[in-house]
Amino acid sequence: MPIEEAKLIWMDGELVPWREAKIHILSHVIHYGSGVFEGMRCYKTERGPAIFRLDDHIERLFFSAKVYMMEIPFSKEEIIEACKEVVRANGLEECYIRPLVYRGYGEMGVNPLKCPVRVAIAAWPWGAYLGEALERGARVVVSTWRRICGDVLPPTAKACGHYMNSQLAKMEAILGGYDEALMLDINGYISEGSGENFFMVKDGVIITPPPEASILLGITRDTVIRLAHDMGYTVVERFISRAEVYGADECFFTGTAAEITPIVEVDGRKIGDGKP
């Protein structure tokens, strides 16, 4: 969905006007995808804006940076405070927040180590990522593109370049008339959507793919698992075959952007009664 312009973006410790938040065209990240990022939701509450699981998102941001040997020039506490500052400075009550750590202008070539590590944080109003699918349910197709496996790229790191894999699956789904793609891992088991974790329900049991299925360990996924346990549901993490999904009673995606989005159809087959 289109980006609704806000006023200010935090860049390397300073707030700069939205339209002046620019980097050099020869920055390493543009050519080689050498960046890591997070996506967070801020919700309006009676006590003011609240960023959902902010500390956990920043912890994962630093983990992703460590995987790619990017030394973030700020502490976790400084990045946490910067996220809050961006929300306040833009006068936002509900918004999406995107911290980005990236390799900037330095040297050209695959080796990124001599390129400086930069940090930017943007925030803007953002509605439902999958649009009307949040209410009516998503129509999904299994992608012909497999999810990257752990011995090719580390799927537990939320890295910019990884999402080229997701883009292929997403474009294929959209051009085919669907809302979203469902990707398989290298062994043919269900992995995740192009940017969401996957859950199914069968006979009252909630089932979701395990970390070994090349998934990103989603923070919303973790929240759903915790809440389900607290509500007395059985949650199982195991490999799921494609055919199993067709027989599910319910299916849904989870993610910061997608929140919890019901799935009503997979590969032309209704899930349950076909209603969210």
Q: Point out the residues that are catalytic.
A: 158
Closest CA to 15 of 147, 175, 122: 122
Amino acid at 247: G
Residue-by-residue DSSP string for 105-141: SS--SS--TTSPEEEEEEEE----TTTTHHHH-EEEE
Amino acid at 133: A
171, burial (CB in 10 Å: exposed 0-12, middle 13-18, buried 19+)? middle
Q: What's the distance, CA 22 to chain centroid?
A: 23
> Would the CA dihedral through 27, 31, 36, 38 be positive or negative?
positive
Distance (Å, rounded) from C-alpha 101 to C-alpha 65?
7
Name beta bridge partners: 142: 182
Beta strand extents in 194-242 (DSSP E only): 197-202, 205-208, 234-237
Distances (CA, A) of 243 to 114, 226, 239, 247: 48, 27, 12, 7
Return the biggest CA–CA distance within the chain. Answer: 56
Instruction: For residue 199, report the phi and psi dihedrals to the nearest 5 degrees.
Output: -130, 150
> Which residue reads 């076909």 in tokens?
274
